Amino acid sequence: MFQVAIVGRPNVGKSTLFNRLCGFRRSIVGDMPGITRDRIYGVARSGGKAVSVLDTGGLIPEAEALIPGGILRQVEAAILESALVLLVVDGRIGVTPLDEQLLPMLRKTGKPIFTVVNKIDGPELEAYAAPFYAFGTAGVFPVSAEHARGLGDLVDAIMARAGEAPEEPVAEEEIRIAVVGRPNVGKSSLVNRMLGFERSIVTDIPGTTRDSVDTLVRREGKRYRIVDTAGIRRKGKTEGLAEKISVVMAQKSLRDADVALLLLDAEEGVTKLDAAIGGYALESGCSVIIVLNKWDLVEGKDTHTLETFRASVERRMKYLSFAPIITVSAVTGQRVSKIFDLVDQAGAARKVRVPTGTLNNLFVPDLAEQFSSRNPNLKLGIRYITQARSDPPTFVVFCSGREKLHFSTERYLVNRLRDHFGFFAAPVRIQQRTRAPRRQNAKTSQNEQKRSQQKNS
């Protein structure tokens, strides 16, 4: 697909333009410069054509600081893989030395360049675009990304460069993986290690990743879309609009994911915040794999160390007792490749559907017998059961009485469903249906009302 890279210095409106071209909010937008850091992908469509669009961080040439230097590498990678570059500038400020410094660097790539003069909010401001014609680029487009002004000409020019749109390929099946955890547990390092190249900026500074960065990777004939998310902090600890939005987008990535890799710091162990993030993953309905990162830094490991961690996880996160645990090191690559094997198992388990006949003819009678063997005086209380959906596995249980099953009975049911049918790493949900309450005739109701009045008097 024809690819377009959006570049420019910080705070000129690149992410706003990106969101406008793609038609939805994909990049975080704010007044603070430097919000976008990694490159973000989207698709712009017009007139039956589609092009891939890349949003990039604010560019500062020859940056020596850690994060700006990482942004520079991300922008260079975006330009190399694109066929057209959109240089976004701020029309209200005019030509700046940094704009002039970026131009020769972009020309060296040999890629055609469109100068997009942003923040031209009305016809009276169009004269502000005049100085940018001196750049000598392939086109100059005065626009207002905020107010969607002047974008039609820009989109038409992009689509004309793209030429005839190729036929849309048949969508291939893929597993969406969201990598989540608190700040600075190694999410971006793990994603880069899984991909085999630097896709996300990695530093020791907590909160480096802000947008949810997704990348498609093929491995052994299978497609995986890996989403690197921002570190999730406690609600009271988030500072600034950008950080709050990044947490919301991380939670959205969980809802869209098939499998969540919940990253924990093996050195620090399980924290309250880890448990809270695990709760978010459970609520989203995705399968969960617990990844103990930085395993290489744990001192004095022996055969019982993992079991100690497992017991801690089960104690702090009982609701994720179904989640498998794997120990890795994103820095050394130890056991990282085995994560894909667990993801494959989890992805397959989400698709398992149990026929209603199997559930009611074989499973329910066997379940009732096992249940009564625990206590002959107990009855299972299930009249009928069916699987309403998969992804996640959801079962509807019709109770024999007018009260719902006790939570311990429901938990027993979930455990037996796992024993019989697998559902590896997936949350199993139960929806209960009880019998309708008895209808009282009018005469009985009146008599009861009279007795109640006499009693009160």
Q: pLDDT-based confidence at 328, cuts 50/70/90?
A: very high
Instruction: Give, in degrees to the nearest 5, the angle at Cα 393 between 389 and 396.
Output: 65
Tell me the pLDDT tens digit for each residue of 3-15.
Answer: 898 988 888 888 8
Across the chain, what does the average pLDDT equal? 82
CA of 423: how far to CAs of 159, 245, 428, 429, in Å? 46, 33, 8, 11
Distance, in Å, from the CA atom of 262 to the CA atom of 280, rounded to the nearest integer, reads 10
Token pair, residue 52, equals 């891939």
pTM for this model (two decimals): 0.69
Residues 6+ apart with CB under 8 A from 76: none
What is the percent of the chain where pLDDT is above 70?
80
pLDDT value at residue 395:
95
Q: What is the mean pLDDT of residues 39-61?
A: 80
Lowest mean pLDDT among 144-148, 166-170, 266-270, 429-433: 166-170
Distance, in Å, from the CA atom of 209 to the CA atom of 228, rounded to the nearest integer, reads 8
pLDDT value at residue 204:
44
Q: Which of 81, 74, 77 is nearest to 57 (CA)?
A: 74
> Architecture of domain 175-349 in CATH?
3-Layer(aba) Sandwich (3.40)
Distance, in Å, from the CA atom of 397 to the CA atom of 383, rounded to the nearest integer, reads 8
Q: What is the mean pLDDT of residues 51-59?
A: 81
pLDDT value at residue 418:
92
Q: What is the mean pLDDT of residues 304-317?
A: 88
Tell me the pLDDT tens digit for each residue of 80-128.
Answer: 888 999 999 999 999 998 888 888 888 988 999 999 999 999 989 999 9
pLDDT value at residue 25:
60
Q: pLDDT-based confidence at 335, cuts 50/70/90?
A: very high
Lowest mean pLDDT among 67-71, 81-85, 160-164, 368-372: 67-71
- The 3-state DSSP class for residue 437 equals coil
pLDDT value at residue 269:
87
pLDDT value at residue 104:
87
3-162, superfamily in CATH?
Answer: P-loop containing nucleotide triphosphate hydrolases (3.40.50.300)
Asked if the 356-433 domain carries CATH number 3.30.1600.10, the reply is: no
232 neighbors 264 (Cβ within 8 angstroms)? no
Token pair, residue 6, equals 């959006």
Q: What is the mean pLDDT of residues 367-389?
A: 86
Q: What is the mean pLDDT of residues 279-287?
A: 92
Q: What is the mean pLDDT of residues 306-323?
A: 90
pLDDT value at residue 431:
94
**What residue ranges do the domains of the chain occupy?**
3-162, 175-349, 356-433
Distance, in Å, from the CA atom of 406 to the CA atom of 172, rounded to the nearest integer, reads 43
pLDDT at 457 over 70: no
Query: Which strands, in side-by-side order, build the sheet including 259-265?
Result: 213-219, 222-228, 175-180, 259-265, 287-293, 325-327
- What letter represents residue 98's amino acid? L
pLDDT value at residue 195:
85
356-433 and 175-349 share a CATH fold: no
Q: pLDDT-based confidence at 313, cuts 50/70/90?
A: confident
pLDDT value at residue 368:
87
Tell me the pLDDT tens digit for each residue of 129-170.
Answer: 999 999 999 999 999 999 999 999 999 999 998 875 454 555
pLDDT value at residue 413:
92
Higher pLDDT, 59 or 406: 406
Residues 6+ apart with CB under 8 A from 172: 223
Q: Which of 141, 150, 343 is nearest to 261 (CA)?
A: 343
pLDDT at 36 over 80: no
Q: What is the mean pLDDT of residues 17-44?
A: 65
Tell me the pLDDT tens digit for each residue of 180-229.
Answer: 988 888 888 898 889 886 654 444 444 444 445 778 888 888 999 888 88
